[in-house]
Amino acid sequence: MDSKKRRIETRVWDKAFFSKLSQLEKLFYWFVITKCDNVGVYQHNKKLAEFHCEGEIDFKEFATKLNSNEYPVILLDESTIWLKYFVRDTWGTLAAGNNLGKSCYKLLVKHNLLERFIKECSNCIDLKSFRKSDDFDMPQTRVRSGSKASTEGEDSQGQVRGKPDSINTTITSNINNILIKKFKKVSRKTGKDISEIALQSEISKTIDVLNKKGIEDPKTYLLEKADDLIQNYKEGIVKEKEINIEWFLNNVRLGAIDDLPF
């Protein structure tokens, strides 16, 4: 859930990147700032934006004009941009001990930006607090002190490159580790009952099923269902002997989406 109030840069009117924008684009800039999610990812809604801004907006041209060393804008796809310094300018430093930090972590995982954010915005995340908690799976990323953020993995337009298969494997591996950590709260046998490769296969299969059933964000949905199951265990609704990651994934695949048995 996005915050209803956000801190803004009062000196933006003096910035070189802002001066390049037309009057319509300046209004659209504020639209983007208030409509993007908590980590600065904005998915363009052409109809809504042009209704409020009362003008036709060239989204790609806007992103190109806005993008600069001072204010990097990364094009994630044809209709989605990431305002790279949004977290720095709006929230400061993310920490694991509050709802904002948890929300931003989930969004960075969802957008495939977690590892990159840690590398390139290292001052904006308290890594120790996230790594101390079992609720977060953090990549082991080295950040070179004093060096500029790496631009490896971008093309000339700032768009993220990478083979889809390798990206999907990383996502599945991350979910694999997160699920094991979650289920260890219930049973220490978790992780021994199924091999890592078999578990990755089961997770991939489950995500494919959820995609076909129209779940908008199957990865987040899957982790939320795991949280629901663990909460039901704590409340005594389900018992430890019934709980197994394989059993859980099978229930997610086979159960009716709105009527899962937990």
What is the structure's pLDDT at 48?
A: 95
Q: What is the DSSP letter of 149?
A: P
Give CA separation, 114 vs 110, 137, 164, 247, 259, in Å.
Answer: 9, 10, 16, 29, 32
Is residue 96 a contact partner of residue 126, using CB atoms and an 8 Å limit?
A: yes
Examine the pLDDT at 71 and tell me if it is beyond 90: no
What is the structure's pLDDT at 22?
A: 93
Residues of the chain above pLDDT 70, percent: 75
Burial code (b: 16+ CB inside 10 Å, e: under 16) for 33-61 equals: bebbbbbbbbebeeeebeeebeeebebee
Rounded average pLDDT over 140-144 = 51
Rounded average pLDDT over 110-131 = 88
Rounded average pLDDT over 11-29 = 90
Q: Say which residue the tokens 């004093």 belong to.
A: 146
What is the structure's pLDDT at 255?
A: 62
What is the structure's pLDDT at 171?
A: 44
The C-alpha atoms of residue 113 and residue 111 are separated, in whole angstroms, by 5
Q: Say which residue the tokens 């209704």 belong to.
A: 51
What is the structure's pLDDT at 140?
A: 59
Examine the pLDDT at 232 and tell me if it is beyond 50: yes
Give CA separation, 149 vs 6, 39, 70, in Å.
Answer: 26, 18, 13
How do residues 95-113 score in pLDDT, each as one tens digit? 888 888 888 998 998 998 9
248 pLDDT band, cuts 50/70/90, is confident
Q: Which residues are CB-neighbours of 256 under 8 A, at least 6 positions away? A: none
Please, is 195 exposed, middle or buried when counting C-beta atoms within 10 Å of its C-beta (0-12, 13-18, 19+)? exposed
Is residue 197 a contact partner of residue 241, using CB atoms and an 8 Å limit?
A: no
Please, is 65 exposed, middle or buried when counting C-beta atoms within 10 Å of its C-beta (0-12, 13-18, 19+)? middle
* Lowest mean pLDDT across 22-26, 115-119, 132-136, 165-169: 165-169
Q: What is the four-CA torsion angle of 169, 171, 176, 179, rounded to 10 degrees?
A: -170
Beta strands in the chain (DSSP E): 41-43, 73-77, 80-83
